[in-house]
Amino acid sequence: MNRMNGCLVYPNWIEENMENLSQIEFEIGQQYTNEKGVFTVVSIKDDQIVIEFEDGEQISSDIAFQQRIQERRRWEMMAPEKKKKVATAKSRRSSTRKTVKHFAGLQPDVFMNKISSVKWRGRDQLGGGVTSRLSSARFNFNSWSSGRRNEIHWADSNHWKTKNISYPAKFFASADEASFTWGFYIERPDQTGNQSADWDAFIEWLGVDKHEQWIRTVALEEGLEVFDNHKSCFGGLIKPREADWSVEGSSVRKSTDRLSTCINSWHPTAWLDLMIAKRIGKADAIKRGEAIAEDISILFGRLLPLYEAAVSHLY
């Protein structure tokens, strides 16, 4: 069974409806909808699509990425009847189950530079609140509390639990004294231990021109930062711009045309905690209340191609 928007979707139901989920073919001049709203297709060339939103904003995007968004939206529209049945079954069992705490948003005591004693990271809190909103026909996501930091990790259950993969790729959310951060997280271990097949697959994928353009576009639209959380390789921030990336806090370079080139230039034997993430202040995170779970799940959905790239060697 897979989870979809908080309900269980059974494999036989998926198979029965696969004929309704053929890959969408975009047409110039036609309107579609993604997370940002209604857009019109302006042009299509090779694997790129130019779309215009109702406010006049135009962006160039990867066709495959926009197709995945449409696929997810169709799943969501086709699942309501199954949701209703599962909700009914759950209500019948609720009287015999222990009441589960409800995630009510991040509280001030969550924010600290050590592991919080407040149980905000659990599957009955933010961890599960985000998991229930993640839709994927390919992965069965779940959450785990980090044993080292005030942080939650999300990954495919089978991939996370396998003993054959060291340092698996993941999504994350973390709190410190001043801010809240969430996004994609992948590790490159140092030369004293095991190598990471996920890292090797990810960095190879990132070196492809269209993938470089895609991640810079998404990072620019979402206001993402790229950084080494371990700070063994790089102590600053990399931020997207229209044509390149700015490199803040570096004595070597102030910009880079390619993210992969910059990463590969860092010390090759040092540990690297690479994070591609969104950061907001403590006050803003608290103000979002329960909606922070939706904010997190939406960004994970946009960054899903990064996760797919890292685990592609298993499929």
Q: What is the pLDDT of residues 160-218, one digit of tens each?
A: 887 667 789 999 999 999 999 999 999 998 877 678 899 999 999 999 999 999 999 99
Q: Taking the CA of residue 302 as centre, how many other CA atoms within 13 Å lie in the half-sphere pointing to its CB? A: 25
Q: What is the pLDDT of residues 37-84, one digit of tens each?
A: 889 999 999 889 999 988 888 888 888 888 878 877 776 665 555 555
Distance in angstroms (rounded) separating the CA atoms of residues 9 and 6:
10
Q: Taking the CA of residue 69 as centre, how many other CA atoms within 13 Å lie in the half-sphere pointing to its CB? A: 21
The answer to whether the CB of 80 falls within 8 A of the CB of 73 is no
Query: 126: which 2 tokens?
Result: 């933010």
Distance in angstroms (rounded) separating the CA atoms of residues 199 and 202:
5
Q: How many CB atoms lie within 10 A of CB 291?
A: 10
Q: What is the pLDDT of residues 211-224, one digit of tens each?
A: 999 999 999 999 99
Q: What is the pLDDT of residues 245-299, one digit of tens each?
A: 999 988 788 999 999 999 999 988 899 999 999 999 999 999 999 999 999 999 9
Distance in angstroms (rounded) separating the CA atoms of residues 174 and 146:
9
DSSP E strand boundaries for the chain = 2-4, 7-9, 31-34, 37-45, 48-53, 58-62, 141-145, 151-156, 170-175, 179-188, 225-228, 237-240, 245-248, 255-256, 272-281
Q: At what angle do helices 209-222 and 292-302 cross, to 10 degrees?
A: 160
Q: How many CB atoms lie within 10 A of CB 236?
A: 16
